[in-house]
Structure 1
Amino acid sequence: MTAFPVLPRPARRPSPPGPTLLREERGAAIVEMALVLPLLLMLLTGMLVYGQYFMLAHSVQQAANDGARAAIVGLDAADRSAVATRAVARSLQSVSGSHSVAVSETNEAITVAVAFTAPPDSFLRSALVPSPTNVIRSRATFELPVD
């Protein structure tokens, strides 16, 4: 049986004279985290804010499209406006917030405009990052068939 030779420990170098605080590395991770953590939190909050904004903007645009598409079946302008308003409300029922619908009509087209206001507890009203407006407006136009 062979034994491994035991090597002597290398001698420690003497520390250079001067303040030891500049050479100390034990608190470096805490300082780095204190510098990086606020930026990371702002980045993550920004992702949540703009993710919610894009989701709401897509939902409002889809609601305007649904309203314009549904309005085509109305018999007169009042009926088309009522049908479009119901279609928009049905499309936005799963999204919390308030909305208003405006239906305008010409001889060639019906335009449905939707304005959606985000609720006060929404991420869009976060003060940590600059956020887009809390009122999202969208419109859709459907051309009427020419007689």
Structure 2
Amino acid sequence: MLKLMKRLKGKKGFTLIELIVVIAILGILAAVITPTVLNFVNDARDARDEANASGLFNAAQLAYVTLAQDGNAPATDDYDSEGGSAIIQAIESTLPGSEDLTYTVQVGANGVEYIELKTDGGEIIRHPAVSTTTTTT
């Protein structure tokens, strides 16, 4: 035991090899973990965008019904979020934070048909989504 104590007495710190091994292990861990974390971040953004589109659609339907009951139903048209129309103002008063979003409301003969939301990444999310199924007879 005394021999070991004497031998270790003069040594302080880590060797260069030990440091290189630790750095290599950290690099491998970072390479493995980074894509996983980025996937979580992207999934969270997608979920947020879908929730925003759904909330906008519901707020637009409510705004349309409210305006229609007052005798001011919006005409069949596309309404841009920056246009300042009555339906956009009603959506913004119903849904806090919607004034920070870029979207278009499509109003048809029977009310709100869909919302197109432009995401931070430049994608367009349509809610409700258009069905791509086909039927054969």
TM value normalised by structure 1: 0.53
Partner of 2:5: 8
Deviations 1:62-88 (A, max 9, x none): 1211111221121xxxx5344xx8542
Structure 2: which 5+ runs fail to align?
9-16, 80-84, 93-97, 130-137
CA contact (8 A) 1:98 1:116 kept: yes
Matched, 1:67 2:60: no
Aligned length: 100
* Secondary structure, aligned partner of 2:102: coil
Specify every segment of 5 or more residues in structure 1 that has no aligned partner in the other structure, as ranges. Answer: 1-6, 12-19, 105-111, 126-132, 139-147
Match of 2:125 among 112, 119, 134: 134
Check conservation: 1:60, 1:136, Cα contact below 8 A.
Answer: yes
Q: Which residue of the partner structure matches residue 97 of structure 1?
A: 103
Could you state the TM-score of these two structures normalised by the residue count of structure 2? 0.56
SS in structure 2 at match of 1:70: helix
- What is the aligned partner in structure 2 of residue 49 from structure 1? 46
Richer in helix (by share): 2
Deviation for aligned residue 1:50:
1.3
2: CA distance between counterparts of 1:54 and 1:39? 23
Which is bigger in relative contact order (C-alpha 8 A, separation at least 6)? 1
Aligned mates of 2:107, 2:29 — CA distance in 1: 51
Aligned-CA RMSD value: 3.1
**What is the percent sequence identity of the aligned residues?**
10
